Amino acid sequence: MGRYILRRSLQAIPLLFLMTIAMFVLIHLLPGGPDQVLFNPHQTEAAKAHLRASLGLDDPAPIQYVKWVTSALTGNFGYSFETNEPVWTVIGRAFPNTLQLFGAALILALVVAILLGVISGVRQGTATDYTLTVLAYAGIAMPVFLLGLLVDDVFGVALKWFPTSGTESVAVTFTNPFSALLDHLWYLVLPMTVLAIAFIAGWSRYMRSSMIEVVKQDYMRTARAKGVGPVAVLFRHALRNALIPLITIVALDFGAVAGGAAITEGVFSWHGMGLLFLDSLDRRDYPVLIAMLMIGAVFVIVFNLLADILYGVMDPRIRYS
Amino acid sequence: MDISEQLNLNSTTEEEVEPYLEITTALVQKRRSQGRIIFDRFVRNRVAIVGASFIILLFLFCFAGPIVWRIDPNQNNVLDVSATLAPPALAHPFGTDDVGRDTMARFMSGGRVSLLVGLTSMLMALMFGIGIGSIAGYYGGIIDNILMRFTDVILSIPLYLLLFVLSASFTDGTPKSVILLIAVFGWTYAARLVRGEFLALKEREFILASRTIGARNFRLMFRHILPNAAGPIIVNATLLIGTNIILESVLSYFNFGIKPPDASWGSMISVGQSLFALDYWLVLFPALGIFLTVLSLNLVGDGLRDALDPYMTER
C-alpha cells in the first residue's frame, strides 16, 4: 500500500502540471478580460498601457504562462488584480471559513446519514423507510437557496436562536480565546446545518441501498449465529462492507471543498471560497482564479486517493497491483 | 392496508417456488425466461407500480394537458392588476406570476423541457459513467489509472468557469447541446461509484466460479458484476435527474437551452425565488414537480433493483 500511495503521489505532479496549462487556457478564454477592474476612468491611456505592461498582460499567452509557472514554482502565485495583495493572503482569508463550514457539515452529515441509511436499509419497506425516503427526496428537490432562507427566517429572524449572517460578532473583543471560539461556532450552526441537509439527503440514500445488499449476505447470518448482538452485527460487520459507495461519494463531495458552497455562503454571508470564486470570476482576477483552481485540483486528487486507500481498508480483498 | 403488510406479501414463498411447480406439474410447459421473471417480479411490487403510475401521470399532465388547458403559457396580462400574482384559484389553479401568466400552463410547458432534459441527460451520463467505471474497475492497473486520472481532470474544472468561456463562443444552444453538455460533465460520480463496486465485486468467489466455467470478460462485467452494482447506480440515477433539472436552469442563464419567455421547472424556481415570501405558488409547484419526478423514479428504481436481486428468490 505504501508503494501505491507513493506512486500515486508522484503521478500527481505531471497531472497537476498538465492541469495548469488547461486552467491557464480556460481563464484566458474568459470573455472580457480584467481591464474593467484594473483601470479607473481617470487614468490616462499612457498610464493604462504602463499598468498592463507592468503586469505582463501584453505578453503573448505562452510567455505569460511560462512567467507564471516559474514564479509559481518558487511559491509566488502573484498578486490579486483587485486588492494588490499576494494571492495567498486573499485565499488565506476565505479558505479557513470554508474548511470550517465543510468540516462541521461533513461530521454532522456523516453521522446522521449513516444512521438514517442503516435504519431505512434494515427496515426496508416499512413506514419508517418510506417516511425517510420521502424526506430525503424532499431535501433533494428543495432549492438550497430556499432552504437557506427558510432556516435563516425561522431560527435566525423569528426565534432569534442563532445569528442570521456573518462569521463572528462584530465590535466585540473577546479577552478569552475560548469565548471567541464559542462565538464563532455560534455563527457556524445555521450555514453548517443547511449544507449538511443537502449532503444527508443524498448520502443516506447510498447508505440505504448498500445496507439492503449487505444484510442479506451469508456472513451476516454466520455472525448472528455466533451470537453477535444486533447492533454490533450492523455497525461492526455490515457497515464495513456497505461503506464503499458512501466513501466514493463523500470523497467526491468533500473533494469539491476548495470550490466552496457559493449558495449557502451567499445566504449567510459566510465569506468562503464559493463567494471568492464567483467574485474573482466576475472581476477576471486571473492570479486568484488560477490559484483557486489549482488548490481545487489538489483537493480532488487527494480525496480520490484517500477514497482508494479507504476501499482497501474496508475490504482487504481490494488490491491495486 | 399498512405499507409494511403489502411488502411482506411480496416476499412470501408463493412466487419463489412457482417456476419449479411449473416444471413438475406440466413438463411440456415452457420455463419463464430471465427477463420474464424480472418483469413479473417488478409488476408484483405495488410500490414500484405506484411510482411508475406517477411518472406516467406527470408525463400525461405536461404533454397532453395543454389539449384541455388551452391557456398560452407565455400570454402575459400586465394591464390587469387583479390578474398578476393571483393566488391559486379556480381560474388559475396554480396561480399567476408577476406579469399575469398562468402558472399551470407554464408548469406544463416547463415540465416538457425539464422531464426531457433531465431524463435524457441522466441516461447519457449514466451510459458514459457505467462504461468508463466498469472498464476501469474490472481491468484495473494502468487502464484504471488513465481513466481515473482523466476523471480527476474533469472533476477539477468548475462548470461555472467553463460555462462562462463557452457562452462567449456559443450563444445559441439548442436543447440537444444542453443535454450533451450536462451529460459530458455528469458522468464522473457514476464512473467512480461503478469502479469502486467493480473493484470489490471482481474479487468475490462467484466471479472466480464463473470464470472457471469459461465466462469471458465481457460477460463477467455486464452479466455478473454490473447487476450486483445496481444499488448505487440507481440511487445516482435518481439524484442525477434532480441535479440535471436544476442545472438546466443554470445553463439557460448562460444563454444555453431555453430562453425567456419560455419556461422550465428550474427557471421557474430561480425566477420565482425573489417573490417566494409572499407568492409561494411560483416556487411551490415547479419544486413539487421535481420532487414527484425524483421520488417516483426512485420508487421505480428500487423496484427494479429488487426484481434484479437474486437473493429475493432464495429467502
Look up residue B259 and give its three cell numbers: 430562453
A255 contacts in chain B (CB < 8 Å): 155
**What is the pLDDT at residue B14?**
45
DSSP A99-159: HHHHHHHHHHHHHHHHHHHHHHHHTTTSHHHHHHHHHHHHHHHS-HHHHHHHHIIIIIIIS
Distance between CA B299 and CA A277 in Å, rounded?
38
Determine the average pLDDT of the residues in A52-63.
Answer: 79
A252 neighbors A303 (Cβ within 8 angstroms): yes
Partner-chain residue, chosen from B167, B231, B294, that has the shortest CB–CB distance to A137: B294
pLDDT at B15: 47
A238 vs B contacts (CB less than 8 Å): none
Least confident of A70-84, A174-188, B138-152: A174-188
> How many whole angstroms separate alpha carbon A60 and alpha carbon A66?
10
Mean pLDDT of all residues in B157-177: 75
Q: Distance between CA A312 and CA A167 in Å, rounded?
A: 39
With 60 as the cut, is the pLDDT of residue B151 above it? yes
What's the rounded mean pLDDT across residues A16-25?
A: 90
Range of B100-114, B254-268, B271-285 with top mean pLDDT: B100-114
B99 touches chain A (CB under 8 A): no
Q: Has residue B136 got a pLDDT over 50?
A: yes
Per-residue pLDDT, A71: 83
- The residue-averaged pLDDT of B216-243 equals 88
Q: In this predicted structure, which of A33-42, A294-303, B100-109 has the lowest mean pLDDT?
A: A33-42
Burial category of B38 from C-beta neighbours within 10 Å (exposed 0-12, middle 13-18, buried 19 and up)? middle
Q: pTM score > 0.90 for this model?
A: no
Is the per-residue pLDDT at B7 higher than 70? no
Helix ranges (DSSP H) in B2-102? 3-10, 14-25, 34-44, 46-63, 65-68
pLDDT for res B24: 52
Decide if pLDDT at B268 tops 60: yes
The answer for residues whose C-beta is within 8 angstroms of residue A190's C-beta and 6 or more apart is: A151, A152, A155, A156, A162, A163, A164, A268
The percentage of chain A sitting over the pLDDT mark of 90, rounded to a whole number, equals 23
pLDDT of residue A118: 92
Comparing B80 with B218, the larger pLDDT belongs to B218
Q: Min CA distance, B230 vs chain A (Å)?
A: 9
SS (H, E, C) B275-295: HCCCCCHHHHHHHHHHHHHHH
- Contact between A121 and A207 (Cβ < 8 Å): yes
Q: Considering CB atoms only, which of B200, B283, B315 is closest to A146?
A: B283
Q: Mean pLDDT over residues A276-291, rounded?
A: 88
Helices (H) and strands (E) in chain A, counts: 15, 0
Closest CA to B285 of B102, B35, B131, B122: B102
Q: How confident is the model at residue B170 (pLDDT cuts 50, 70, 90)?
A: low
Find where cell 481491468 sits: B139
What is the tens place of the pLDDT at every residue in B222-233? 888 888 888 899
CA distance B148 to chain A (A): 9
**C-alpha separations of B118 from A135, A277, A288, B77, B278 in Å:** 21, 27, 34, 31, 29
Residues of chain B with Cβ-Cβ distance to A22 below 8 Å are 153, 157
Nearest to A130 among B3, B151, B287 (CB): B3
**pLDDT at residue B220 is higher than 80:** yes
Q: What is the pLDDT of residue B315?
A: 34
- What pLDDT is recorded for position B16? 47
Looking at residue B312, what is its pLDDT? 60
When scoring A4, A21, A122, A137 by the number of chain B Cβ atoms within 10 A, the one with the most, hence best to mutate, is: A137
Average the pLDDT over B82-98 and give the result.
74
Task: Return the pLDDT at B30.
Answer: 60
- Interface subset of A 164-223, CB within 8 angstroms of B: 202, 205-206, 208-210, 212-213, 216
The reported pLDDT for the residue numbered A321 is 62
Q: Which residues pair with A86 in a beta bridge?
A: A79
Answer with the residue of higher pLDDT: B44 or A310.
Answer: A310
Count of pairs with CB atoms under 8 A, one residue in A, one in B: 168
50-89 in chain B: CB under 8 A from chain A: none
For residue A28, which residues of chain B lie inside 8 Å, CB to CB? none
pLDDT value of position A171:
67
Name the percent of chain B lying above pLDDT 70.
Answer: 83
Which helix (H) or strand (E) element contains residue B200? helix B175-201
Average pLDDT score over residue span A251-277: 87
pLDDT surpassing 80 at residue B110: yes
Contact at CB, A26 and B197, closer than 8 angstroms = no
A103: contact with B, CB 8 A cutoff: no
Per CB-CB distance under 8 Å, the chain A contacts of B145 are 11
Distance, in Å, from the CA atom of A19 to the CA atom of B153, rounded to the nearest integer, reads 7
Closest Cα in chain B, distance from residue A209 (Å) = 5
Mean pLDDT (whole number) for B8-27: 48
For chain A, give the percent of residues with pLDDT over 70.
Answer: 98
Select from A137, A142, A315 the Cβ nearest to the Cβ of B298.
Answer: A137
C-alpha grid cell, residue A135? 424526506
pLDDT at A237: 85
pLDDT of A187 reads 83
Mean pLDDT of chain B: 79
Contacts of B301 (CB under 8 A, 6+ apart): B234, B235, B237, B238
Phi, psi of B96, deg, nearest 5: -130, 160
Q: CB contact, 8 Å: A305 with chain B?
A: no
pLDDT of residue B10: 47
A101, three cell numbers: 463550514
B49-78: average pLDDT: 83
Q: What is the pLDDT of residue B215?
A: 85
The C-alpha cell at A178 is 475560548
Helices B230-253 and B103-139: crossing angle, nearest 10°? 130
* pLDDT score, position A186: 81
Q: Averaged over A16-42, what is the pLDDT?
A: 82
- With an 8 Å Cβ cutoff, is A316 touching chain B? no
Tell me if A205 sits within 8 A of A117, measured CB to CB.
yes
Q: In chain B, whose CA is at the least distance from the CA of A250? A: B189
Provide the angle, in degrees to the nearest 10, between the axes of the packed helices A127-141 and A177-214.
120
* Angstroms from A178 CA to nearest CA on chain B: 37
Q: Which of A94-98, A252-256, B30-34 has the lowest mean pLDDT?
A: B30-34
What was the pLDDT predicted at B171? Answer: 57
Q: Using the predicted structure, report yes or no on whether residue B148 has a pLDDT greater than 80.
A: yes
Measured N-to-C along each axis, helices B265-272 and B230-253 cross at an angle, to the nearest 10 degrees, of 60
> Which residues, 6+ apart, have CB-to-CB distance to A21 below 8 Å?
A65
Under DSSP, is residue A1 helix (H, G, I), strand (E, B) or coil? coil
- The mean pLDDT value for B264-270 works out to 82
Q: What is the pLDDT of residue A200?
A: 93
- Rounded mean pLDDT of chain A? 85
Reply yes or no on whether the pLDDT at B9 is more than 50. no
pLDDT over threshold 50, residue A109: yes
Cell numbers for B77, please give them: 396580462
Angle B265-B67-B50 (CA atoms, 0-180°, nearest 5)? Answer: 60
Residues for chain B: how many in total? Answer: 315
Can you tell me the distance from the alpha carbon of A237 to that of A122, in angstroms, rounded to the nearest whole number? 14
Joined together, the cell numbers standing for residue B92 give: 388559475
